[in-house]
Structure 1
């Protein structure tokens, strides 16, 4: 209800915009009397483009109707009688309107709530002035745009008034002209009269004729000047309209598209489309009014031709303002919801296109059809250069035709492609070291419609963000790299789909941080130390000074074409492996600050040796994609008085799908303090799996537990469910016959530095053979329930 309370305090244009949100589709009285209930519902949880969500929307509709009926029944007394009838009527009306399309009700209410929040936020920012320079700048820009619209409205109203005056003057001129013709006719008919009478009448008529012709001469000059003045006013208004349109389409809309592109890398979700639509609709309205005025001027000129350049001036004005209409319509045909940028064949995907001026130009009166085709980078270049008039396809998309629908509640004209699927793709010849995951395509949406009673016909096209087509999930990693690089470094107005081959390291850091924060769903992104670690990995450097990397450039090849030194994977593949591991299994621990992660082996050793035994930290594996290891400090069992840092063989997603990180840390009793000095239970206890329940129906449940033999002290298990011990320093190797329980390894498997090293023990074949022959220690304890 807080938003509604604030919305009622709006004033001026903001209040008018708020009131305009309501109407027959959703009465403002319903918003008022059910404010608290409406704001407490999870409207945003309903996916409007998913037909399966219709049942959820139907429940919300039924609950809304029930709340209205309940509210109606609570009204009593003389004052409440009319309200009772009114609320009951609204309940019936909403049920009748949305029963067959409940998703439209959700769309309507979401639009209302988001618009109210925006209006309240803008009003708050304008009054407080404390939201920072960015918000101040945004508010000032919006204020300038709204002020320009007010100037245009007044200018358009002024030319309308002048046009009416011109029309009245011209109509009176025509009447006087007809009077002059009548006088001339009378003079011609005087020949039949007697001479005396004819002379008297002729003198009177000649005098009257002279007066009328003198007036006509003066008035013709006045009319011509009036027409010229009006055309100059139209020319001035046209200039203002062009300036406003350039500001909205070439700056605001382009910025929105840029935000939409960065959202593909995890940037803030692109908002403000409703504001853009309101501006574009105002532009369309004003442009159309001025165009109609210019056409009326042309009609007046044709009715009464006068010497001068008016016909050429008006023809030029008409042509110019038609070009402005065309630019507005074609530029506001946009993709509201982009198709996925990594597009797998034979997989369903969705997209939404929207015409921002569709409602204002009444395009929905004859709903246009939109077609989607996939085109290559070369075909996209040809389209933008107008070298290709027909849309060649580089593949086949199923369910690629959709009719645009007008949603009265939100005044939007959209086409929702819900069930598209790329059946096949035709690839072009690749150059040099380019792989299939570096080849870019785009989905072209095109349509044709008319406005003004078929007066103007528009063929509109818009291209999606670049997409990389894959046929197997194993290609997703490299395809995502192509998309991330393109989204981060594409420049506005580029030739499709050119991106720089090299960028400054801080630019890449910004893109990686954005991606990381988005996947973690947290404000905790990559610190300066994390970025230095990544720079060391990318450039094979040992410098810990961030300034050393500030002016360095990294190429696409260094990012995801060339393997890291001594590895069989690229920089991006390693980073993406970390992101996937964290996203799937370790997100809470990262957000808690429990994982340092971006620390190399030497750094971990230096950090831990200054701490008490049992201190440990979590760092990402240098040698394995998507691996994380536990490093801890402890005594060297072979050299009394010496302390060493030990490292477990890295855990991967497969390991955490068997037993969580928190439970594994709980299992290892020699781990005492999370670096620098936090007791481990204080950090991880809330994530431990609760103890298993007692036996049911005579059965007991086994439990997997991890141990490191070198650091295990005899400790009898407490009574309860038996435990199947995972005696391992190698959590990534599983035993095929023991249900995911890991075999133990001999002491030499963990070297003095804590690294897993087979070369110091035996070759791989002998090691595996020995493991398979070694009997498993029986850790089962028989208990009767």
Structure 2
């Protein structure tokens, strides 16, 4: 409701724009009386292009109608009678309008709320006065001021044009009068000489006066026309400058934000503001074009000596070029297709014409076609070397009619059920793999403006997409997309990206991706980035300055394996991201996971801490693995122990918090936080009473006692127990199962669920006898009944 209170304080043009948001599609009275309810709903959580969201939208519509009916019933007394009838009528009207298309109601309300927020923000910035405005506000103010100048100049030329038209009409009347006088003079020959002489003198005098006036007026008219042409030239110059600012700067920046959103950057906003600017441009351009055409018509009606025809012809060509550039540039992709595109999988996209509503394109709704083209085909299209759309694959359901949404004033086509049936790949260069090959989805359409006066064939290309046929290719395809989104330059030749970039540039891209996947502001710290630099460059330096001027190539990023490993830098990093996203996001956001720490660093951190202090770090040798390192007392010396890394498979069986809870020797999370203080809120509650006479068994993590370690810091057990696959402990390289980095190879791990089932089926004495045999496997599992 706070937004509505602020919206009611708007004044002048802002108030007029706010009022224009409402109408029969959504009455302003509904906004007023249900302000609190409307602003409390999660409208942004619904995806307008997802048909599966229709049920949620239907419930919102029903709730809106119900709230409106309740509000109507509460109206009483003489003053409330008419309001009661009106609100009841609106409830019925909204139900009838949106019952078959409830997502349109959501679209309408989202547009209203976003527009109100923008108007309130602009009014707030303007009222600050003395406070320094940020660059965005200054730029918007500059654009709005230019629009005001254009509006005034267009009104001035309209006024001058009307004066010119009136002057020309009077000139023609006087010209006709002159012709009439000449005709009268010609007819005098039939009159008697005395009468003819008298009338001839009078007519000659009158004709001389009229002709003198016509001569002067012709010069005035010609000057008036030239002055008007100069005014139009000035207006067109400002229009072109304004259009360049909006299309070549603001729209390009929006597209760049949209591209970075593919890497996890802030969701691109401001499209409605861009549309309002483009619509103002379209309106002003069209008004000036009509004025120029009327000038041409006046010139044809009354030809006068001078350069007017050439001037007007050039003005007409210039303004047609301006409107052509506007229309073709504002045919955009509002919702991009997925950049990693798997064959045979349904996907969606939305294209929008920002000036469609203003130019009444929807009166003859155009159809949009989508085809997938290769990088080479995209280059040919942009160079105008190809006049027809060749395809590199087959997309099903690739035709869609543009629809006009009156509530939001948008003209768009929603492709909801496209599917890539097949793809035709080109010859690859050098070491390039299929996951480095880029395609793009081309959207094209044709429509007319001004009753077929102007016909436009428009095309727009999606962001680069990488086509895969199996989920195992997703990791490398994502690397190609991330590199392209992060380092592509505006106006590039498709789809050229630098082969090398500065390390800090890649750090920004990785941090953006990481924060987006964690859904929090906690991204990668400088220490984390130093760790990643050490891994990428095989360096031991801990100084961030040593890496600022270093460059990393695409090959180092995701083509060449890390030294001593069978995976690339990106594959390791992406494995970490996937593990965190699926299982450990809350713990990262709580600050419980150090993560980017190597084995030696972990040892240095822990040896200065009390026994039982532990930390969580990512495995160096395992993709998507995380291990627990802790310090414990040994009869001879204190040692840092490490558990076999956990992976997604392990956490699908038992969560990290529960595993830490099971391990009694883990006492303090580094540096000194009691573990229950950090993890207790994530523990799984203990099992309640038996169900149907059965007690459900539990899987519980138990560590075997490391050789030579004091039993005081381990779980107290009378004999070794069958251990979980990920509960191996190691302080050094004594175990043959350790790899050179001290991490375990998980290829020989055993399926926990299968062993639990086998153990439960054995008699107790057999179970006890079998336990010592499990020591050689270093696995432990405790069964609680």
TM-score above 0.5, yes or no: yes
**CA–CA distance in 2 between the matches of 1:390 and 1:751?**
57
Counterpart CA distance in 2 for 1:160 and 1:269 is: 42
Check the 8 A contact 2:665/2:714 in 1, yes or no: no
Taking structure 1 as the reference length, what is the TM-score of the superposition? 0.91
Corresponding residue for residue 671 of structure 1: 666
What's the offset of the Cα at 1:106? 1.1
Q: Give the match's secondary structure for 2:575.
A: helix
Once the two structures are overlaid, the 10-residue window that deviates more, 609-618 or 96-105, is 96-105
CA gap 1:757/1:480 in 2 versus in 1, 3 angstroms: closer
Distance in 2, Cα, partners of 1:286 & 1:261: 31
Where 2:746 maps in the other structure, the secondary structure is coil
Partners in 2 of 1:441 and 1:154 — Cα distance? 47
Q: Deviations over 1:684-743 (max 9, x none)?
A: 01001100112122211100011xxxxxxxx999999999999999999999999xx999
Alpha-carbon distance in structure 2 between the residues aligned to 1:379 and 1:230: 46
Asked if the contact 1:728/1:742 (under 8 Å) is kept, the reply is no
Deviations 1:386-432 (A, max 9, x none): 00010000000000000000000000000000000000000000010
Which consecutive aligned stretches of 4+ in structure 1 deviate over 3 angstroms post-superposition? 125-129, 132-135, 715-738, 741-776, 782-785
TM-score (norm 2): 0.91
* Alpha-carbon distance change, 101 to 76 in structure 1, aligned in 2, over 3 angstroms: same
Q: Secondary structure at the match of 2:444?
A: strand
Residues 43-102 of structure 1, C-alpha deviation per residue, up to 9 Å, x if partnerless? 223221122222222221122112112111111112112211211121122122112211
Whether the 8 Å CA contact 1:652–1:732 is kept in 2: the answer is: no
CA distance in 1, matches of 2:156, 2:754: 94
* 2:695 maps to 1:700: yes
Alignment CA distance shift 1:692-1:187 (3 Å): same
Q: Distance in 1 between matches of 2:314 and 2:259?
A: 38
Secondary structure at the aligned position of 1:349 is classed as strand
Residue aligned with 1:617, SS: strand
Q: CA deviation at 1:494?
A: 0.3
Post-superposition offset of 1:637: 4.8
Post-superposition CA distance 1:737-761 (Å, at most 9, x none): 99xx999999886899975599999
Give the stretch that moved more between structures: 17-26 or 215-224.
17-26
13-22 or 358-367, which deviates more:
13-22
1:80-131 deviations in whole A, cap 9, x for unaligned?
12211211121122122112211111110111112112222333344347xx
What is the aligned counterpart of 1:723 among 712, 726, 749? 712
What are the Cα deviations for residues 316-345 of structure 1, in whole angstroms up to 9, with x where unaligned? Answer: 100110000100000000000000000000
User: 1:229–1:703: structure 2 CA closer, same or farther, 3 Å change rule?
Assistant: same
Aligned twin of 1:419: 417
Residue correspondence of structure 1 range 768-779 to structure 2 within 5 A = none
Secondary structure of 2:491's partner?
Answer: coil
Of the three residues 463, 482, 496, the one matched with 2:480 is: 482
Give the deviation of 1:771 after TM superposition. 14
CA contact (8 A) 1:649 1:730 kept: no
Cα 1:660/1:183, change in 2 over 3 Å: same
Matches within 5 A, 1:320-469: 320-469=318-467
Q: CA deviation at 1:135?
A: 6.5
CA distance in 2, matches of 1:75, 1:719: 81
Classify 1:743/1:29 alpha carbon distance in 2 versus 1 (closer, same or farther; 3 Å): same
Change beyond 3 A, Cα 1:115–1:579: same
Relative distance call for 1:758 and 1:488 in structure 2 (3 A) is closer
Q: Does the 8 A contact of 1:651 with 1:732 survive in 2?
A: no
Conserved in 2, the CA contact under 8 Å of 1:353 and 1:414?
Answer: yes
Report Cα offsets for 1:205-241 as digits up to 9, x if no partner. Answer: 0000000000000000000000000000000000000
Deviations 1:442-488 (A, max 9, x none): 00000000000000000000000000000000000000000000000
Answer yes or no: is the 8 Å Cα contact 2:98–2:105 preserved in 1: yes
| TM-aligned CA deviation for residue 638 of structure 1 | 6.2
In structure 1, C-alpha distance between the alignment counterparts of 2:294 and 2:588, rounded to whole Å: 68
By how many angstroms is 1:774 displaced? 14
Bigger shift: residues 348-357 or 78-87: 78-87
Are the equivalent residues in 1 in contact too, given 2:620–2:743 (CA < 8 A)?
no
Contact 1:705 1:723 in 2 (8 A): no
The structure-2 alpha-carbon separation of the partners of 1:346 and 1:135, relative to structure 1 and needing over 3 Å to count, comes to farther
CA distance in 2, matches of 1:524, 1:579: 13
- Tell me by how many angstroms 1:765 deviates: 23
Partner Cα distance (2:498, 2:706) in 1 = 63
> How far off is 1:38 after superposition?
1.1
Q: Do the aligned partners of 1:108 and 1:409 also contact (CA within 8 Å) in 2?
A: yes
Listed as ranges, the gaps of 5+ residues in structure 2 are: 765-781
Distance 1:448 1:428 in 2: 29
Q: Which residue of 1 aligns with 2:3?
A: 3
Q: In structure 2, how many angstroms separate the alpha carbons of the residues matched to 1:74 and 1:637?
A: 80
Count of residue pairs brought into register by the alignment: 765
Deviates more, 1:661-670 or 1:5-14: 5-14
- Seen in structure 2, the aligned counterparts of structure 1 residues 732 and 518 have a Cα distance that, compared at 3 Å, is farther
Which residue of structure 1 aligns with residue 274 of structure 2?
276
1:518-557 matches, within 5 Å, as 518-557=516-555
Q: Distance in 1 between matches of 2:571 and 2:565?
A: 11
Return 569-578 or 135-144, whichever deviates more.
135-144
On the 8 A contact 2:640/2:731 being kept in 1, the answer is no
Aligned 8 A contact 2:632 2:713 in 1: no
Change (3 A) 1:744 1:703: farther
Question: How has the CA–CA distance of structure 1 residues 731 and 600 changed in structure 2, closer, same or farther, with 3 Å as cutoff?
Answer: farther
Aligned-residue CA RMSD in angstroms? 4.8
Aligned equivalents of 1:127, 1:119: Cα separation in 2: 12
* Paired position in structure 1 for 2:559: 561
Query: Do the aligned partners of residues 598 and 728 (structure 1) sit closer, same or farther apart at CA in structure 2, a change above 3 Å counting?
Result: farther
CA distance in structure 1 between the aligned counterparts of 2:423 and 2:672, rounded to whole angstroms: 56
Instruction: Tell me the secondary structure at the aligned position of residue 435 of structure 2.
Output: helix
Distance 1:770 1:103, change over 3 A: closer
Which deviates more, 657-666 or 14-23?
Answer: 14-23
